[in-house]
Chains A and B, each alone.
Chain A
Amino acid sequence: MRRIDRLTDLAIAGFLWAFRIAVLLIVVVGSIATLASGKYSLETWVDLVGNGLTLGSIYALIALGYTMVYGILRMINFAHGEIFTAGAFAGYFMAVALAGTGLLNANPVASLLSIGLMILVAMATSTVLAMGLERIAYRRLRTAPRLVPLISAIGASFFLQYTIRGLFGPGIYAYPDVAILGEQVPIEILNMRWVDVLVIVSALLMMSVLYLFVMRTRLGTSIRAVSEDRDTAALMGIDANRAIVLTFAIGAAMAGAAGVLYGLKYTQVYFFSGFVPGIKAFTAAVLGGIGNVPGAMLGGLFLGLIESVGPTLFLDGLNVPSPNQLKDVIGFTMLVLVLVFRPSGILGERVARARA
Chain B
Amino acid sequence: MTREQPAPRSRTRASWPIVRIGLLGGVIAVYLCLVGIVPTFDERQLIAGVISLGEASLILAGVGTGYLAARRAPGGSRRAEVAAGGLAGGLAGSLLTLLVLIGSVVDLRSVFIHASPELYDTLTFGLRVTGCWIPIAVGALVGAIAALVVALPDSLRRPITWGFTAVVVMGLFSGLLRTPLLTSPLAGLARFLFAPDGLTVAGAVLVFVGVAAAVAIRGPLTARRRYDALPERRRRALLVPALLVAILVVLMFPISMGSFFAQVIAIVTIYVLMGFGMNITLGLAGLLDLGFVAFFAVGAYTVGLLTSTGEFGLAGWSWWAAVPFAVLFAMAFAAFLGLPILRIRGDYLAIATLGFGEIVRILAGSDLLKAWLGGPQGILGIPKPIDVPPGHPLAGPVQIYYIALACAAIVAFVAWRLRGSRLGRSWMAIREDEDVAEALGVNLVQTKLLAYMLGGAFAGLGGAVFAGLVGSIFASSMQLFVSLNVVALVVVGGMGSNPGVIVGAIFLIALPELFREFSEYRFLFYGVALIAMMLYRPAGLLPSRIVKRELYSPDELDATARGDASSPRPAAS
List residues of A whose CB falls within 8 A of some B CB.
Answer: 5, 8-9, 11-12, 15-16, 19, 74-76, 93, 96, 136-137, 140-152, 154-163, 166-169, 279, 282-283, 286, 320-322, 325-326, 328-329, 332-333, 335-336, 339-340, 343, 355-356
Contacts and interface: CB of A to CB of B under 8 A. Distances in A.
Nearest to B353: A336
Q: 9 tightest CB-CB pairs across the interface, nearest first? A: A155-B530, A159-B527, A158-B527, A166-B35, A332-B355, A152-B534, A162-B524, A321-B367, A155-B531
Contacts of A161: 523, 527
A163 B35 contact: yes
A146 B445 CA distance: 20
Most buried by A among B112, B344, B362, B531: B531
A144 B358 CA distance: 29
B362 A329 contact: yes
15 contacts: A74-B572, A144-B565, A145-B570, A150-B346, A151-B533, A158-B530, A159-B531, A161-B527, A166-B36, A167-B113, A326-B362, A339-B341, A340-B343, A340-B344, A355-B573
A286 B11 CA distance: 53
A5 B31 CA distance: 56
Contact of B526 (A8, A93, A143, A158): A158
Interface string B364-385: 0011101000000000000000
B437 interface: no
A19 B534 contact: no
Most chain B beta-carbon contacts within 10 A, residue among A152, A322, A355:
A152
B368 A326 contact: yes
A64 to B, nearest CB: 17
Contacts of B351: 76, 279, 282, 286, 335, 339
A345 to B, nearest CB: 12
A320 to B, nearest CB: 6
B476 interface: no
Given A152-B535, A159-B528, A322-B366, A340 B572 contact: no
B350 A150 contact: yes
B571 interface: yes
B345 A356 contact: yes
A158 to B, nearest CB: 3
B566 A154 contact: no
A214 to B, nearest CB: 23
B293 to A, nearest CB: 14
Contact of A157 (B113, B363, B527, B572): B527
A335 B352 contact: yes
Contacts of B273: none
Contacts of B446: 5, 8
Contacts of B35: 163, 166-167
Given A141-B535, A147-B288, A326 B443 contact: no
Given A15-B339, A150-B350, 11 more contacts: A5-B446, A93-B111, A145-B569, A150-B346, A159-B528, A163-B35, A168-B112, A283-B355, A325-B366, A336-B341, A343-B348
Nearest to B335: A15
B499 interface: no
B340 A15 contact: yes
Interface on chain A toward B: helix, strand, loop, or mixed SS?
helix
Contacts of B131: none
Contact of B358 (A5, A9, A74, A332): A332
A328 B359 CA distance: 8
Contacts, number: 181
A320 B368 contact: yes
Given A141-B534, A147-B286, A161-B523, A340 B529 contact: no
Contacts of B359: 328-329, 332-333
A141 B534 CA distance: 8
Nearest to B564: A140
Nearest to B354: A279
Contacts of B340: 15-16, 19, 336, 340
Nearest to A82: B527
Contacts of B286: 147
A148 B347 CA distance: 10
A143 B566 contact: yes
A350 to B, nearest CB: 16
Contacts of A336: 340-341, 352, 355-356
A325 B362 contact: yes
Contact of B530 (A151, A329, A332, A355): A151
Nearest to B35: A166
B253 to A, nearest CB: 30
B355 A335 contact: yes
A167 B572 CA distance: 36
B491 interface: yes
B535 A167 contact: no
Given A8-B446, A143-B569, A160-B527, A321 B368 contact: yes
B336 to A, nearest CB: 8
Contacts of A356: 345, 348
A143 B569 CA distance: 8
B534 A151 contact: yes
A151 B491 contact: yes
A335 B113 CA distance: 37
A340 B341 CA distance: 6
Interface in B461-501: 484, 487, 491
Contacts of A141: 534-535, 565-566
B172 interface: no
A334 to B, nearest CB: 9
A112 to B, nearest CB: 25
Contacts of B487: 151, 154
A332 B341 CA distance: 13
Contacts of B348: 286, 339, 343, 356
Contacts of B345: 356
B378 to A, nearest CB: 16
A152 B533 CA distance: 8
Contact of A322 (B354, B367, B445, B528): B367
Given A143-B566, A329-B362, A356-B345, A156 B527 contact: yes
Contacts of B565: 140-141, 144
Nearest to A327: B362
Given A19-B340, A144-B572, A156 B524 contact: no
Contacts of A136: 531
Contacts of A12: 339, 445
Contact of B445 (A8, A143, A159): A8
Contact of A146 (B339, B347, B368): B347
Contact of B521 (A162, A282, A320, A328): A162
A333 B565 CA distance: 37
